[in-house]
Structure 1
Amino acid sequence: MAAVIALAVVGGWLIVAFPFPNLAVVPGVAMVGLAIALRPRFGRLDPELEVLDRDQAPELFGLIDEVATAVGAPLPDVVGVDGAINAYAGTVGLRRRKVLCLGLPLWGSLPAGGRVALLGHELGHFVNNDPRRGLLTQPVFTMLGSAADLFRPVRTNVGAGLVEMLGDALGRAFQWVVSRVLFATYLLLVAVALRDSQRAEYLADDLAGRAAGTTAATEFLDILLITESLELAVRRETRAGHGPDRWRSALAESRVTRADQLPLLRQLSVRDGASLFAAHPPTGVRRQMLAGRAWQDPSVALSEARMERIDAELGREYDRFRRTVNWSG
């Protein structure tokens, strides 16, 4: 980031330091343009996120408040839903607004304890120093990759004379070297940063156990091992005109059916999910780590009646998801 700022400052100085016209303007404009191209991107709200407000979903926001208090996390500035079997927490923009997104198929399918565990895990990312969310560390995941892409050589001088062809070849060779050096540095930084990112996932799992209890938190991690079955069940029930109540029943049936396979799925996740460049540790290892820690009782309880009220608040969003599934064929 300091190098990008230096590019902008020196480039600006070259533009204004000498009377115009002056050849110094050319490298000055080039340096400012390069600084703009390499500027850090701090993200923005997903345009597909359906933002909720407290008046629209008071029960959901009340549950989020309780879980945030239990794990010692700040409240999100934006809460929304989308149609993915996923959930995420992040920070966007220079103001570092905290965003919590709940994927409706996952949220609607989870039992009460699983929902508390999901909130505890995602809100936990606001307090566990995840490098993907830091003001100074988040650009590591974008800036040098953008720089390597910018310097990637592209053949532009076809059919020219010998001198032009030689100049083009030398220019592309220089670009290739710079691009590869930047990309290698990018890979090194990302590999280092993702070690802390995986550590943040373990800490978030621990906070999920603090909020929902170890039993519910480990069961939630097991559910993440069968998301393909969950997706098929949600689509089947949705096309049949059923809502979250049937999604939960279908998930419970799938868990019973695949109970004997869960130990194998945990081992398989370790084999397939272990990587230097994975943002998340293997789910099987996460579950083993959480189960090996001191056992925790739930600090936030979600009753069935309250869960139904929360689903009623999200009725319009569930209907929109149902239409999307039906239209997708």
Structure 2
Amino acid sequence: MQNACPECAGDLTVFEDAAPWCGRCEWNLDAFAPVDGGWAARAVARLDRRAGFRAGRALVALGESAVSRRATAGFVVLVAVSVLLTAGLLVTAGIGVWLIATGRLLPPILLGGVLIGLAVLLRPRLGRLGHAVDGGWTLPADSAVAALVSRIADATGAPRPHVIVADLRWNASAAVVGLRRTRVLRLGVPLLLALDDQHQVAVIGHELGHLKHDDSLRTLVTMPARTVFGRLAQYTTLPPGDAVDRGLEGVLALAYSAVQLVMGTLSWLFWTLHLGLHLIGAAEQRRAEIHADLIAARAAGHRAALESLDVLALASRLS
């Protein structure tokens, strides 16, 4: 195995099963270990990771503009699409109600019920407090962790969470859920135990940064654009197997094959739209993470913020 970079002759870094890379010129840094699954799964994972790597490079090249709070073009597109989709769902539900209210025969009444059900299935979700705390333990307001969170929130100007939940995951997250917009902070006990005091401040500061910059609100107003087409792709995907696998013959086999063709095409189109909208919003999501990282650095210092990212990068191997 070569120990020098073929591009700049610098020393190569090797970590377990990862491909060697050069930290000086970033040669081969976009190479990733293969994932389990078929060729399609491997191709999608490879393209996804390389796209993420290119996006990271592009984000670094943006410089100070990456931390601007002005709405990006991608965010405006997502909001516009969300408004149109929300209006479409309301119209769909309204037509369903009208068909049920005015229908005298069973077919229009059933169609109205289907339209209302479709609108309900595709509606934006506000989240539920019960789901947000599921699988964890709510910490009392007078606990040491709650006191630490309050101190970090006061130091960074971030709002205090209404609920703090501890669980057994190697992760931490923040969300605003429900009609009352309850702020929930989840902290994984294994992750906190793996960090020293200053790194804990950095991780908590990062999550509070999401609350400070209203990332949940920005997510909510773009949710229809990011979820409707994905759900439609899921609902139009038929179970694997063809007519022969289901023991169909003759006209039934031909009809089922036709349904598969139509539904498969629709599912592919919906999935393509879903992927495209997520690609449009990717820059906005990366900016949200940068803003949260800046709050982490403000709370714990730049060195602690960077070192905590190293621990988080190893979380999948430690869990």
Tell me, yes or no, whether TM beats 0.5: yes
Following the alignment from structure 2 to structure 1, what is the Cα–Cα distance between the partners of residues 154 and 223?
Answer: 26
Corresponding residue for residue 215 of structure 1: 303
Listed as ranges, the matches of 1:1-329 within 5 Å are: 1-18=86-103, 20-43=104-127, 44-55=131-142, 57=143, 59-130=144-215, 134-154=219-239, 158-159=246-247, 162-227=250-315, 231=319
Using the alignment, how far apart are the partners of 1:7 and 1:53 within structure 2?
44
Partner secondary structure for residue 54 of structure 1 = coil
Give structure 2 stretches of 5+ with no counterpart: 1-85
2-side partners of 1:94 and 1:144: how far apart? 24
SS in 2 for 1:40: coil
Shift of 1:79: 0.4
User: Which runs of 5 or more residues in structure 1 are unaligned?
Assistant: 232-329
Q: Say if 1:76 and 1:126 are closer, same or farther in 2 by CA, change over 3 A.
A: same
Answer yes or no: is the 8 Å Cα contact 1:77–1:98 preserved in 2: yes
Change beyond 3 A, Cα 1:224–1:146? same
TM superposition shift of 1:210: 0.8
Contact kept, 8 Å, 1:91 with 1:133, in 2: the verdict is no
Structure 1 228/38 Cα, relative in aligned 2: closer, same or farther at 3 Å? closer
CA deviations 1:42-84 (Å, max 9, x no partner) are 33324212111214x1x32222122112222211121011111
How far does the alpha carbon of each residue in 1:95-144 deviate from its partner, in whole angstroms, 9 at most, with x for none?
33221111111112221211111111010011234368632223444332
The offset of 1:223, in angstroms, is 2.7
- Asked whether the 8 Å contact 1:41–1:142 carries over to 2, the reply is no
Deviates more, 1:181-190 or 1:36-45: 36-45
Name the CA distance, whole Å, in 2 between partners of 1:225 and 1:25: 54
Between the aligned residues of both structures, percent identity stands at 35
Q: For 1:214, give the aligned amino acid.
A: H
Aligned positions, number:
228
Task: Output the TM-score relative to the length of structure 2.
Answer: 0.64
Q: Structure 1's 202 and 107: CA in aligned 2 closer, same or farther, altered over 3 A?
A: same
Contact 1:131 1:197 in 2 (8 A): no
Instruction: Classify 1:133/1:41 alpha carbon distance in 2 versus 1 (closer, same or farther; 3 Å).
Output: same
**Using the alignment, how far apart are the partners of 2:247 and 2:315 within structure 1?**
54
Q: Is the 8 A contact 2:234 2:267 kept in 1?
A: yes
Task: Write the distance in 2 (CA, Å) between the matches of 1:201 and 1:140.
Answer: 20
Aligned partners of 2:308, 2:189: CA distance in 1, in Å? 16
**Aligned amino acid, residue 105 of structure 2:** P
Contact 1:131 1:137 in 2 (8 A): no
